[in-house]
Amino acid sequence: MALAPAPAPPPVFSLRPTNFTKSRRCCRCSSTISRTDGSSSSPPTNTSSTHRPAVILPGLGNNTTDYQKLTLILKEYGVPTVVAKVSRIDWLRNAAGLLDPNYWRGTLRPRPVLDWYLKRVNEAVNEAKELAQGANISLVGHSAGGWLARVYLQEFESSDISLLLTLGTPHLPPPKGVSGVIDQTRGLLDYVKQHCAKAVYTPELRYVCIAGRYTYR
């Protein structure tokens, strides 16, 4: 992969901020996905907490309030939800990566440049654990939040997490040696591929990866 000859913008990942719309329950994951046909299934009338708590990890450029609709929908299904506290301006912290020589080599590592995000995730996970009262919890990672969840699982104690649901997350780095293809993560996805557990379904940690298009209505 050829490095950019001129100064590049702060480290970015993939996918733009997204607003969630009409949704339905997905498989056994107690989460939701957007519908493209404009229809949606009705949530159950019983709003008591019957599922393990979920922690939502915002994607690049998103903030906590972008996930209010998703939080309300999950609540209707009895899923207590905590969103990692992230604001749009927080993402400017990624500019610290410009001072790391690995950024220019395309071999950037998640830490320390993304320690601020991982800390917010850890705080949300601890809050969800209190809601779980000893039960397991789920992670719902949107866009970059999905592969950052994999970094979190690798770097932090995660025995209480039994599900990772990712929404539109790129789990593999872009192909190398292809004209016009630039790794916007500057090597972060290479790091995830090499050093983090694979995003595959296991009895201990179930993965559900959702990718596709949606229509805003």
Q: Residue 49 pLDDT > 60, yes or no?
A: no
Q: Which residues pair with 82 in a beta bridge?
A: 55
Q: What is the pLDDT of residues 134-189, one digit of tens each?
A: 899 999 999 999 999 999 999 998 889 999 999 999 999 998 888 888 889 999 99
Neighbours of 102 (CB within 10 A): 15
Q: What is the pLDDT of residues 62-120, one digit of tens each?
A: 999 999 999 999 999 999 999 999 999 999 999 999 999 999 999 999 999 999 999 99
First to last CA, the chain: 39
Q: Where are the domains of the chain?
A: 48-210
Q: Which residues pair with 182 in a beta bridge?
A: none
Rounded Cα distance, 169 and 146, in Å: 5
Rounded Cα distance, 172 and 22, in Å: 28
CATH 2.40.50 for domain 48-210, yes or no, is no
**Cβ distance 31 to 138 under 8 Å?**
yes
Distance of CA 198 to the CA centre of its chain: 15
Q: Which amino acid makes up residue 48?
A: S
Q: Which residues pair with 25 in a beta bridge?
A: 32
Single pTM value for the model: 0.75
Extract the tokens encoding 59: 């994607």
Rounded Cα distance, 211 and 50, in Å: 27
pLDDT of residue 19: 43
Residue 103's nearest CA partner among 191, 170, 169 is 191
Q: Which amino acid makes up residue 56?
A: I
> Which is it for strands 54-57 and 137-142: parallel, antiparallel or unpaired?
parallel
pLDDT of residue 25: 36
> Judging by beta carbons within 10 Å of its beta carbon (0-12, 13-18, 19+), is residue 9 exposed, middle or buried?
exposed
Q: Residue 2 pLDDT > 80, yes or no?
A: no
